């Protein structure tokens, strides 16, 4: 019996040793390999990864990130995956415009590698130099935001070959951050919803907001083409068919918004980027991401291509019959912002970091003229901690702004410059935006703010005041403010600040309630390169530069001293189409 027991114990010990050796090899990638998992919070949900290693080498990364926006976070994660495997390095920068998705993915991969016992610092990467690239095409487009993608699709539908170059690793630029909608007049959606509007009204609102320094011919062209732009988006299966809204400075409900399958209002930016990028794919348009244009190639005074640098430092040359520049503004480059507006030093920005104003340099090199570069807009509802944007349409739908004393202080639907200036005068320079369950239920914007941890909540106004850390006096004032506002909505008039009540969709008379802390942030550059109504770039002597076009925030003159909310999307679609059409006609 003792002999049997000793043999059994001996077998058990041997088995344990074998198991521990296997476990050691399974959990230390440097001693074998295996699959290791990690999870972290992304933009809208959990990101789960499985990292496969052989020895010290990462051979594959699979992941689940169903809650991330496919064309923003989804594309960013795929790009990061490729970079990690190629460079054998997890210590890399996230993708601008997809910060939360990037951070979540990198944290999840880091967790998996920690469990594998691997230090992925690039020391194990293979050294292979990227090859230089050269191509010929009809039209090269610089910038893959809304304007660039619209121009590319338009030119391709005209039968032209197109190469689109984007500095970032994902498409979308600042367009992906747009939240409210697209202004358009005399559209079939306005007719269907009983909205009376006109080109003249659109022009008047835009000129007034821009302090009358806008180029009126450009504004007229913008307004006259918005209805056709909506029809074109319809034809591309990008439908802004939600309930029309008003924005600060609009004289009617002109802001067209998308809705999801459940009828919830969703941010226009991601929706537009998703639809446009899908169309790029279906048309087979070549896209070069992670590629920074440095020069426009000129031949006998005509634009005929671009020089660029790839992400690996390789040279990129694209020869073309025409060039369209759609690189956006420079609001993501604080050095350049402060160069033109020293008074804006210290403000947070809503812009992606790749909105850095590179085009000011390479367009300046070909003698392009510029206008209104010092006209830089503050947006009044920006989250001070990280620059996340809270869409203006929420205020149009009925949200109000209160200061730390619990009271309203300005017309919430005033123009952005006016509301921002009023906020700066309040205690602390930031305020609270108040919404309720009625707004939460139909707004994906509010729901995403909640998922992102930006909202504080309360079943009652007193509960919300406590969550906002109001003292007793501010709490009493806040309750009175909201109750007074509810009465104003019922009466249809705002005697305090003259806000238009008719379009408000909720009176805030019932909870639960939600609040988000907001303040002014750098949002839009109204100034840029000078163009005419054909989207042709103008030089410093007032002449057209043949073969060179521009569209979107890189241009100046349309928005004057202050852009109306909803006019940026109108701008990129209208002038993106004009640039694509006229560049195609130029080649004929």
- Claim to verify: residue 224 and residue 351 sit in the same structural domain: yes
- Nearest Cα residue to 170 out of 244, 77, 59: 77
Q: Please tell me the distance from the alpha carbon of residue 73 to that of residue 79, in angstroms, as a whole number.
A: 10
Structural domain span for residue 96: 27-116
Does 143 fall in a domain?
Answer: no
Q: Which residue is catalytic, options 177, 254, 404, 416? A: 416
Q: What is the separation, in whole angstroms, between the first and last Cα of the chain?
A: 99
pLDDT for residue 88 is more than 60: yes
At 63 the three-state DSSP class reads strand
* Of residues 18 and 10, more confidently modeled: 10
Full DSSP string of 509-521: -SS-EEEEEEEEE
Residue 141's H or E segment, with its range, is strand 133-142
Q: Please tell me the distance from the alpha carbon of residue 144 to that of residue 173, in angstroms, as a whole number.
A: 7
In the predicted model, what is the mean pLDDT of the chain? 92
Torsion sign over Cα 210, 216, 218, 219 = positive
- Claim to verify: residue 359 and residue 444 sit in the same structural domain: no
Residues in a beta bridge with 104: none
CATH of residue 69: 3.90.1010.20
- Claim to verify: residue 354 and residue 207 sit in the same structural domain: yes
The angle subtended at Cα 36 by Cα 35 and Cα 42, nearest 5°, is 130
- Claim to verify: residue 387 and residue 496 sit in the same structural domain: yes
Q: With pLDDT > 90 as the criterion, what percentage of the chain qualifies?
A: 79
Does 205 fall in a domain?
Answer: yes
At 133 the three-state DSSP class reads strand
State mean pLDDT over 152-176: 97
Looking at 82, 116, 150, the residue that finishes a domain is 116
- Claim to verify: residue 370 and residue 397 sit in the same structural domain: no
* Of residues 527 and 69, more confidently modeled: 527
* Of residues 520 and 389, more confidently modeled: 520
Known catalytic residue at 416: yes
- Claim to verify: residue 447 and residue 430 sit in the same structural domain: yes
State mean pLDDT over 123-140: 85
pLDDT for residue 393 is more than 90: no
Residue 569 is predicted with a pLDDT of: 98
Residues in a beta bridge with 320: 137
- Claim to verify: residue 463 and residue 534 sit in the same structural domain: no
- For 47-67, write each residue's pLDDT tens digit: 999 999 998 899 999 999 988
- Residue 147 banded pLDDT, cuts 50, 70, 90: very high
Q: Please tell me the distance from the alpha carbon of residue 260 to that of residue 441, in angstroms, as a whole number.
A: 13
CB atoms within 10 A of CB 497: 14
CA within 13 Å, CB half, 102? 19
Q: Please tell me the distance from the alpha carbon of residue 176 to that of residue 267, in angstroms, as a whole number.
A: 9
Does 152 fall in a domain?
Answer: no
- Residue 20 banded pLDDT, cuts 50, 70, 90: very low
- For 480-514, write each residue's pLDDT tens digit: 999 999 999 999 999 999 998 877 889 999 999 99
Confirm if 214 and 197 have CB atoms less than 8 A apart: no
- Claim to verify: residue 106 and residue 221 sit in the same structural domain: no
Residue 25 is predicted with a pLDDT of: 41
Does 436 fall in a domain?
Answer: yes
* Structure tokens, 31: 């001693």
- Claim to verify: residue 470 and residue 431 sit in the same structural domain: yes
Domain count, the chain: 3
- Claim to verify: residue 354 and residue 212 sit in the same structural domain: yes
- Claim to verify: residue 467 and residue 549 sit in the same structural domain: no
- Claim to verify: residue 343 and residue 419 sit in the same structural domain: no
Report pTM.
0.85
- Residue 33 banded pLDDT, cuts 50, 70, 90: confident
């Amino acid at each position: 019996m003792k002999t049997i027991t000793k043999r059994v114990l001996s077998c058990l010990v041997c088995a344990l040793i074998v198991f521990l050796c296997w476990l050691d090899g399974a959990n230390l990638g440097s001693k074998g390999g295996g699959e290791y998992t990690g999870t972290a919070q992304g933009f809208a949900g959990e990101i789960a990864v499985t990292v496969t290693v052989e020895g010290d080498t990462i051979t594959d990364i699979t992941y689940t990130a169903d809650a991330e926006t496919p064309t923003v976070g989804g594309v960013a994660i795929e790009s990061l995956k490729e970079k990690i495997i190629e460079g054998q390095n997890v210590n890399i920068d996230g993708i601008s415009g997809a910060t939360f998705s990037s951070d979540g993915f990198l944290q999840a991969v880091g967790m998996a590698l920690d469990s594998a016992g691997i230090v992925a610092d690039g020391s194990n990467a293979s050294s292979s130099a990227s090859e230089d690239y050269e191509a010929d095409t009809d039209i090269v487009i610089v910038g893959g935001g809304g304007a660039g993608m619209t121009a590319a699709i338009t030119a391709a539908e005209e039968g032209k070959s197109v190469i689109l170059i984007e500095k970032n690793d994902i498409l979308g630029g600042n367009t992906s951050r747009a939240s409210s909608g697209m202004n358009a007049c005399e559209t079939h959606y306005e007719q269907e919803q009983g909205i009376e509007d006109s080109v003249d009204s659109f022009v008047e609102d835009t000129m007034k907001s821009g302090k009358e320094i806008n180029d009126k011919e450009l504004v007229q062209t913008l307004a006259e083409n918005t209805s056709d732009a909506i029809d074109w988006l319809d034809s591309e299966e990008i439908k802004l068919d939600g309930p029309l809204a008003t924005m600060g400075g609009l004289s009617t409900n002109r802001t067209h918004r998308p809705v999801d399958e459940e009828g919830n209002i969703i941010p226009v930016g991601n929706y537009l980027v998703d639809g446009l990028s899908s169309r790029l794919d279906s048309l087979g348009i070549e896209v070069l991401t992670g590629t920074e244009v440095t020069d426009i190639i000129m031949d006998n005074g005509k634009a005929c291509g671009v020089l660029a640098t790839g992400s690996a430092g390789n040279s990129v040359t694209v020869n073309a019959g025409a060039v369209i520049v759609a690189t956006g503004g420079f609001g993501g480059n604080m050095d350049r912002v402060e160069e033109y507006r020293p008074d804006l030093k210290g403000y947070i920005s809503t812009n992606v970091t790749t909105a850095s104003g590179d085009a000011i340099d390479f367009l300046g090199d070909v003698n392009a003229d510029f206008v209104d570069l010092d006209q830089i807009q503050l947006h009044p509802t920006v989250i001070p901690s990280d620059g996340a944007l809270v869409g203006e349409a929420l205020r149009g739908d009925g949200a109000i702004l209160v200061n730390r004393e619990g009271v309203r202080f300005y017309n919430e639907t005033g123009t952005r410059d006016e509301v921002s200036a009023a906020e700066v005068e309040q205690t602390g320079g930031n305020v609270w935006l108040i919404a309720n369950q009625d707004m939460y239920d139909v707004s994906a914007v509010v729901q995403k703010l909640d998922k992102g941890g930006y909202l504080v909540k309360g079943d009652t106004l007193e509960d919300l005041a406590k969550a906002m850390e109001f003292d007793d006096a501010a709490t009493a004032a806040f309750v009175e403010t909201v109750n007074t506002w509810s009465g104003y909505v019922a009466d249809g008039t705002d005697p305090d600040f003259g806000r238009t009540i008719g379009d408000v969709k909720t009176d805030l008379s019932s909870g639960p309630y939600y609040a988000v802390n907001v303040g002014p942030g750098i949002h839009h550059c109204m100034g840029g390169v000078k163009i005419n109504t054909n989207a042709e770039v103008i030089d410093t002597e007032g002449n057209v530069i043949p073969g060179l076009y521009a569209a979107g925030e890189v241009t100046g003159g349309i928005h004057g001293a202050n852009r109306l909310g909803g006019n940026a999307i109108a701008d990129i679609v209208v002038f993106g189409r004009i640039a694509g059409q006229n560049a195609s006609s130029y080649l004929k």
